[in-house]
Amino acid sequence: MQELSDPLVLPCGAILPNRIAKGAMTEGLATPDGRPTPELERLYGIWADGGAGMLLTGNIIVDRDHLERPGNVVIEREPDADMASRLASWAKAGTRNGTHLWAQISHGGRQTPKLVNPAPKSSSDVPLALPGGQFGKPVPLTTSEIADLAKRWAVAAKACKDAGFTGVQVHAAHGYLVSQFLSPRVNLRTDGYGGTLENRARFLLEIVAATREAVGPDFPISVKLNSADFQKGGFDFQDSLQVVQWLEAASVDLIEISGGTYEQPKLMGIEGMEEEEQQNVAPSTAAREAYFVDFAKAMQDAVSVPLMVTGGFRTRAAMEQALEIGAADVIGLGRPMCVQTDAPARLLKGAQEVPRYEDDLDLLPGWLGFLKRFQMVKAVSGFAGIYWFYQQLWLLGHEGRTDDQFSVMKAFRLVEARNKRIMKERAAANSP
């Protein structure tokens, strides 16, 4: 029987010291021009002291015009001396105590906020179906731009390896750019990157190939992949299973199974803007909290590549059950570690659960809950709760503390104000 404390030997030969990982969460702590900061070092040092075997960073972006949010780290070319030094300091903090630190490399695509780019690039010109006008209509990438982006992933991965990171993850989930290529609902291309699943997966596999060439055979490469988009006409479980098999053949060392997009935020346990598209996957367990464990179990029956499952785990019993039935090789923890930063250490010492902070977060008081029937209100309320976790990361990075009594409304206002300030400072720095 696998235990949370057991090490995991990856196909490339690297060894994770235990089966608990900190899942990727966007930090928003970089400088306006995308460089790591002492605040990022402090945050990851705290997490490295918290007992996880591996830490995944939030989105490191390969194109500064396609941030996932203001404050992302950006690596779009070989780093200069200052950037290399900052990356090395970040890596040193995040790898103390023998903890692995893996860089999650990404591109926002059409999910780039209009505040950052009103005309983002994507697989096709299909806009996000979200109210509020927060995202612009995308422009299809050319084939030469696609080839350039695959190289940028490799450049970013090599820069992180040289800085002391111990692995990388290609973000191909949650509706970001690579996920947009995989989705038949979003990818309407008629060239070699559209149509069949093989064509839609071509961009991802080219990124993996370029990255493997850049970092060598002994360095861990992970991919974060949707088990499904949970949207009608989107990337579904059978698509995902086939892509996992291709990734295994492409020498990927760990695949993190997730799901959803901004339109259908299954990853956050938030109700989306449309009815969820059900997937034909047999339930493997009863009464469990983890979102994607059934999908991972079905995949493990078809592939041998190690799988990581993140999303919803809160009890030790569910984590151990996922390991025991072979649904997961690594358990990812996200939001609990925004406040209880040593949750992995507590679990390894026998704690039976981690806190569910999200259960008490709501922008609206109960008597106004009826307003959530309106799409705009529902969207804002859901993302306001996410902003509360952003505020906890800001406090950890700047002050080394958390505040579980912090107001959701205040967090929402502060994060929005910071986003605007960062973009204003970036624009000023880039002006002639």
Q: With contact defined as beta carbons under 8 Å apart, do 169 and 223 qualify?
A: yes
Q: What is the pTM of this model?
A: 0.91
For residue 192, the one-letter residue type is G
Question: How far apart are alpha carbons 304 and 131 in whole angstroms?
Answer: 41
In angstroms and rounded to an integer, the radius of gyration of the C-alpha atoms of the chain is 20
Indicate whether 85 pLDDT > 80.
Answer: yes
Per-residue pLDDT, averaged over 138-157, amounts to: 98
Which CA distances in Å does 10 have to 3, 167, 212, 217, 352? 16, 11, 15, 12, 27
Q: What is the pLDDT of residue 165?
A: 98
Q: What is the pLDDT of residue 297?
A: 86
Q: 115: which 2 tokens?
A: 């505040």
Q: What is the pLDDT of residue 378?
A: 57
pLDDT band at residue 276 under the 50/70/90 scheme = very low
pLDDT band at residue 273 under the 50/70/90 scheme = very low
pLDDT band at residue 287 under the 50/70/90 scheme = very low
The position carrying tokens 């090395």 is: 88
Alpha-helix residue ranges (DSSP H) falling in 216-311: 237-249, 293-300
pLDDT band at residue 381 under the 50/70/90 scheme = low
* Exposure of 294 in the CB half-sphere (CA atoms within 13 A): 15
Q: What is the pLDDT of residue 126?
A: 95
E strands in 244-313: 254-258, 307-310
* 281 vs 125 pLDDT, higher one: 125
Indicate whether 387 pLDDT > 70.
Answer: yes
Q: 28: which 2 tokens?
A: 């928003």
Indicate the SS3 state at residue 310.
strand
192-231: pLDDT as tens digits: 999 999 999 999 999 999 999 999 999 999 999 988 656 6
Alpha-carbon torsion 315, 321, 323, 327, what sign?
negative
Domains and CATH numbers, the chain: 8-361 (3.20.20.70)
| Phi and psi, residue 83, nearest 5° | -65, -40
Q: What is the pLDDT of residue 360?
A: 63
Provide the β-strand partners of residue 103: 168
Per-residue pLDDT, averaged over 120-141, amounts to: 90
